[in-house]
Chains A and B, each alone.
Chain A
Amino acid sequence: MSELNEQALAKYRNSFLREVEERVDEGEWVKMCMQCGVCAGSCPFGPHWEHSPQKIFMMIRAGKREEVLASDSMWMCTSCYNCVVRCPRKLPITTIMHGLATYAHRLGLAPKNQPTRDFSVIFWENFTRNGRANEIRLMLRLWFKDGIGAGIRKALAMKDVGLGMLRAKRMSPLEIFGGHGVKDVKGFQAMIRKAQEIEDRKRGFSK
């Protein structure tokens, strides 16, 4: 169990709702859900989730910490904002879903090998390195994360898309050697660090 998780457990012993309110982006809205189920009915991914937003909110109130944080439901959100538009109580559901996903990842409780999560991690590392997304490296990391054979199969399957991107100059093969970045990479990274520090302080992670 991660150290952060142990700290959180100790701090919020039996109130997961309070933990969510304090530590999850827009988490203070969870208590305002009136369980009408409009979000669950509006979600285009509805049939593919284990728990609808309605259920996630109910589980938070019921103190089902492990189940919520280990759920892959938040990771399935495509940010279509259908639920936010329809929620009669005006809950920022999409933001809460992303907030929960981030928090679960932070504590090391998010499901392993969850494709969205893998992509997010790879993207974040790729992007924060130079301040610019490096398409070719991002692509290669993503395809070969499950081994060489799987990578080659994936590459062959996607070759037409790749060639199209090359032709349209949307991707440069030369970027494989590090690629270009923002003008002030150090300054950019300092900015990211500062933002993280502020977020940690706000969420009560800093010591």
Chain B
Amino acid sequence: MAEMKTAAYVCQGCGLGERLATQQLAQVAQKEGKMALVREHPFLCSEAGVQTIRDDIEKEGVTHIAIAACSRRAKTEAFHFPAVAVSRANLREGVIWSQPDTEAARETTQEMADDYVRMACAEVKRMKAPAGNPDVARNTRLLVVGGGISGMTAALEASKAGYPVTIVERAAALGGWAAKLWKRTPAHEPFQAPAETGVAAMIEAVRADPNIEVRLSSTVARTSGAPGRFSVEIAAESGGAATEEFGAIVQASGFSLYDASKLPELGFGKSPNVVDQAGLERLAREAAAGNAPIRRPSDGGEVKTVVFVQCAGQRDASGTHLPYCSGHCCATSIKQAMYFKDANPAVDTAVLYTDLRVPGNGEDFYRSGQSKGVVFTKGSVRAVEPAGNACTVRFRDLILDEDAAIENADLVVLATGQVPNSGVDIEKVAQNEPGEWQSDASSVLNLAYRQGKDLPLLRHGFSDSHFICFPYETRRTGIYTAGPVRRPMDIAQAVEDATGAALKAIQAAENAALGRAAHPRSGDLSFPTVRLDGCTQCKRCTVECPFGAIDEDEKRYPVFNESRCRRCGTCMGACPVRVISFENYSVDTVGAQLKAVDVPDEFSEKPRILVLACENDAYPALDMAGMARRTYSAFVRIIPVRCLGSVNTIWVSDALNSGYDGVMLMGCKHGDDYQCHFVKGSELANYRMSKIDDTLKQMALETERVATYEVAITDIERVPRLIDEYAAKIAEIGMSPLKGFA
């Protein structure tokens, strides 16, 4: 790279010129920031202002620019200079809009602005313009694991978008569960009666599509690589395996039915007249094939009374069975009751439910069931007692609050739930040692990743997929889950889910080919590099990466797979020897900023509080607080971080050693209902900070000097309050004794 030539631009627009002494800011940039070229401009984001910068880059050979104007979140198009390193001093949202416009506040406001200019100058000198991931490949073939409704939908949608697909299906035929149904719940107006499944037509469409290759009776024996260059070994049941390359993967491995034989109290296994919903579909298909009504399995007798038991082994609070609701089963029972009612209205059908849940347009279908005479009874079933050809269903009537029973039921249908086919639980099944890797028959993807063979799970065995904010995203870049492996769902939802997953997979493959990050920093060209000669093989980065992007070689050194990386910097935050960095974001870029701040002495009554704010939620909330002219303490200096997970504890100890009086860390909500854009980042940061008390004590500092907060993007009113409260707290405990030593 050519010689570094720095430049700083101070904007006077948006009131900056009136509120701040911009000439002084320019001087700060020149003298303290040591910028080679410093310019003030009355309206920097205007065409003329941008042209000035562009000219400097082209004619003066400027390579590093610090822009002192608005927030880095504003005017991103005007200030887009991909060829050079750019830092931004947030003087608008972060200073003049969040500080009162009073004579009394003038001094502290100017100090704030001076500091932000110092910080931007210090930061940019440690940055490099990111060049993009060099380790790229463009492979746009998609692998779809699973040939049910979800898998076939994903394949067809991807093919329609012009991308070739390979479907790997474990069974000998396509269709999955849907192919085993007699009919499906209706997906179209007027939602009155069971509808044709449409599976045969879908299989036909897949077969006829030259863009789709189908591998039946096959499984994935090994997956390695990264988006754009996944290498997948597909093993056929008949023996033999082939290794193929794919750009991205959709995992549509579906669900298994909860094992009804775990429900002996509901009569399963004691009489053939007690079936699960799949069992009833089988009976219905057999009956339809013979063009006859459904008969009683035990003796072929006429069916006069059918009882449907909802939530069989589901929504169980005792911890014995599934704790969750599978979502589709109420509508499925209504559909199955209609199998009888539509054929012969004289058949009594009763649905025993505790809460009838019919998502989508199911309410119309429910009403249709009621008008067809299906009886709905709110009750929780205690026991199903088969005797001869009849069953007695005992339940608690929840409206009348009494024990009741239905006698002489010819058929009892148990609505058991969906259990995701999510492979092995990587928290419990450890990955093989490098070099001793073996495939696992119970794994879906057999990932050769450091962190385990399948996708990490969230709750109840479903694959973790950033449930709240970005449901398609899993924790393995370029691999997208679709259908009931992600959460319980019905056919209509699975179709929608698979369509979305296919599009995300296409996006991931294309992004990888361009060396860019996938969600949520999509388009980011930076990537982590490691200085291996300093690495101590501690494995924290390989263990903590929320996306399993880092493998280990046989000597336990980390092996980065840039295309799998989401650029959150959690590895950088974890690294105790600080050898991991990005071109434009590193321990140095942030460290230099916090050290560039002018910390007044102990007797100035001007404390300094460092705020490390997550750029996804906390920093925008702070910007928006500024836009809403919510003021906060002038003693804070805010540095945005990619994720709280990227915060290296050295920043905290550096700040305290430099005389800061407090450090606030603002990240997203963590835990089961996490909102962290990088899933584990804020959780890890919280864990790391919980250990910092010892360090503080060693430094003879109060533990309050470091505080961690969960901040949501909507906390526009709350964030200024948090800052002011913390500033008051610092005033209470007093100035740091460590000033003036750094």
Contact = CB atoms under 8 A, between A and B. Distances in A.
A58 B375 CA distance: 10
B399 A55 contact: yes
Given A55-B399, A58-B397, A62-B397, A35 B376 contact: yes
B356 A34 contact: yes
B377 A31 contact: no
Contact of A34 (B366, B371, B397, B404): B366
A184 to B, nearest CB: 44
Contact of B399 (A32, A35, A89): A35
B106 interface: no
Given A54-B399, A55-B400, A34 B376 contact: yes
Contacts of B366: 34
A32 B371 CA distance: 6
B377 to A, nearest CB: 6
Contacts of A89: 367
Contacts of A64: 400
Contacts of A34: 356, 366, 370, 376
Nearest to B348: A15
| A interface, size bucket | 10 to 19
Contacts of B404: 62
B111 to A, nearest CB: 61
B378 A58 contact: yes
Given A58-B378, A61-B377, A31 B370 contact: yes
Contacts of A17: 375
A59 interface: yes
Interface in B355-377: 356, 366-367, 370-371, 373, 375-377
Contacts of B378: 35, 58
Interface string A60-79: 01101000000000000000
A61 B406 CA distance: 12
Contacts of A31: 370-371, 373, 375
A63 to B, nearest CB: 10
A17 B376 CA distance: 12
Contacts of B367: 32, 89
B604 to A, nearest CB: 64
Interface in B394-408: 397, 399-400, 404
Interface string A13-55: 0000100000000000001101100000000000000000011
A44 to B, nearest CB: 21
A34 B371 CA distance: 12
A58 B371 contact: no
A35 B353 CA distance: 11
Chain B interface, DSSP helix/strand/loop, else mixed: mixed
B400 A62 contact: yes
Contacts of A35: 376, 378, 399
A82 to B, nearest CB: 20
Nearest to A21: B373
A58 B399 contact: yes
Given A54-B399, A55-B399, A55-B400, A61 B375 contact: yes
Nearest to B366: A34
A54 B367 CA distance: 17
Interface in B377-395: 377-378
Which one of A32, A34, A59, A62 has the greatest number of beta carbons of chain B within 10 Å?
A: A62
Nearest to B350: A61
A12 to B, nearest CB: 14
Contacts of B377: 58, 61-62
A32 B373 CA distance: 9
Interface in B222-267: none
Nearest to A28: B371
Given A31-B370, A32-B367, A59 B400 contact: yes
Interface in A56-113: 58-59, 61-62, 64, 89
Contacts of B370: 31-32, 34
B356 A58 contact: no
B253 to A, nearest CB: 36
B292 to A, nearest CB: 26
A116 to B, nearest CB: 24
A55 B397 CA distance: 11
Contacts of A62: 377, 397, 400, 404
B275 to A, nearest CB: 24
Nearest to B374: A31
Nearest to B378: A35
Contacts of A55: 399-400
B635 to A, nearest CB: 54
Contacts of A32: 367, 370-371
Interface string B162-197: 000000000000000000000000000000000000
Nearest to A31: B370
A61 B377 CA distance: 8
Contacts of A59: 400
A56 to B, nearest CB: 10
A34 B357 CA distance: 11
A147 B404 CA distance: 44
A19 to B, nearest CB: 14
Nearest to A18: B373
A17 to B, nearest CB: 7
A61 to B, nearest CB: 5
A58 B376 CA distance: 9
A31 B376 CA distance: 8
Contacts of B356: 34
Contacts of B373: 31
Interface of B: 356, 366-367, 370-371, 373, 375-378, 397, 399-400, 404
11 contacts: A34-B376, A35-B399, A54-B399, A55-B400, A58-B377, A58-B397, A61-B375, A61-B377, A62-B377, A62-B397, A62-B400
Given A61-B375, A89-B367, 15 more contacts: A17-B375, A31-B370, A32-B367, A32-B371, A34-B356, A34-B366, A35-B376, A35-B399, A54-B399, A55-B400, A58-B399, A62-B377, A62-B397, A62-B400, A64-B400
Top 10 A-B pairs ranked by shortest CB distance? Answer: A58-B399, A35-B378, A32-B370, A31-B370, A61-B375, A58-B400, A55-B399, A35-B399, A55-B400, A61-B377
